[in-house]
Amino acid sequence: MAHFLWALVGFTALSQIAPTVAAVHLAARAHLARPWIAGAAVFLYGVGLFLGRARARMTDVPRAWWILHVVDEPYFIHWCASLLATALSIVVVIVAPIVDLARGAPMTFPADAVTAAYLVALAVALYGVLYRRRRFLVQRVEIGVADLDEAFDGYRIAHLSDMHIGALTPKRFGLRWTRAANRLDADLAVVTGDMVTSGTAFHEDIAAVVASLRARDGVVVSMGNHDYFGGDGEPLISLLRAAGVRVLRNEGRALERDGKSLWLAAVDDSWTRRNDLDQALRERPDGVPTVLLAHDPEEFRAASKRGVDVVLSGHTHGGQIAVPFFARTWNLSMLSHHHHLGIYRRGKTTLYVHPGLGTTGPPIRIGVPPAVVEITLRRA
């Protein structure tokens, strides 16, 4: 982890070139005596504060409100803007000489364009950190299930995932999400993992948030990889179970309606190799439609081979950053996941990948709003 952190510091230092150029250029245009001082200040700010912010995200503990809102959030706005500005500046530096040659003008460094790139990136980062990650949607999805009995036609599941409750995503955020889920008056409420950002300091807050969910058939949780970060997960599991939440770990249960059944199962976290799909489905009666909670959508293919009808997952956050209106097609999670957002089908099996509610890494969302999702099962 130490090597990873220092690699991120080096990456952050490289990303400060564009904002440093912008600071020097703006200071020069303002006729300051030593514009390089403004550039140096921006560079030192971007690099100097990174390590503390990164470590705080990896071992999440309560922090004073003024540090969160006066230091942490402004820094993450600058950090995210620096990355976007770097990408834009690379394009500018390549294109500007071509434009100069086409115009017959002497080639010069495009300081104005680099400055504009940083200012545009700063506006986007302000939106993503301060507004978009806080404003969630309520989405509705219908999934057809072969052989679903009439008793379960229209069965509604309030699906929450990847809450990442912690210092930057506090308990009050979570309670807003659960109030919205409760207003759906669903038959079942499920949380598909990553309730934790990291560590164990917020376990009681998480248990209070999840226990505030209400549904006729109760609240069911599957575990995600972050739920084991900084501990073995047992403190959180004990708190949830004490609050009446059913935590399924490689096991299942039958949901009953008018003498008919729907099998609900969940696998444990795959990243820490606690998952056992065969064990989760071992007691499933023959011919009973099955809904599987699996934090990691990579369980989809194995679940399809075993005749699971519906898989509800999370984990990817839809990349957190995506091209607006084209999030399903172009998002950052595409770089590492086959199934990254929304509905996928394989044979009789349907996978739904939740966009998540909280954030991990930088606290930003662009193009992929957080959502409370109502899943409705329909006879197909």
Q: Are 170 and 65 in contact (CB under 8 A)?
A: no
Question: What SS3 class is residue 246?
Answer: strand
Place of tokens 């999934």: 143
Instruction: Return the pLDDT at 55.
Output: 86
Q: How far apart are CA 192 and CA 240, in angstroms?
A: 14
Work out the number of other CB atoms within 10 angstroms of the CB of residue 147.
11
- Domains in the chain, CATH or no CATH each: 2-132 (no CATH), 138-379 (3.60.21.10)
Instruction: Return the pLDDT at 78.
Output: 98
Instruction: Return the pLDDT at 1.
Output: 61
Retrieve residue 226's tokens. Answer: 């972050």
pTM attached to this predicted model: 0.94
Q: How far apart are CA 132 and CA 135, in angstroms?
A: 5
Q: Are 369 and 321 in contact (CB under 8 A)?
A: no
The confidence band for 100, taking pLDDT boundaries of 50, 70 and 90, is confident
Instruction: Return the pLDDT at 3.
Output: 81
For 226-246, how does the pLDDT look when each residue is reduced to its tens digit (9 = 90+)? 999 877 788 999 999 999 999
For 348-379, how does the pLDDT look when each residue is reduced to its tens digit (9 = 90+)? 999 999 999 999 999 999 999 999 999 999 99
Pairing mode, if any, of strands 219-222 and 188-192?
Answer: parallel
Pairing mode, if any, of strands 155-160 and 371-379?
Answer: antiparallel
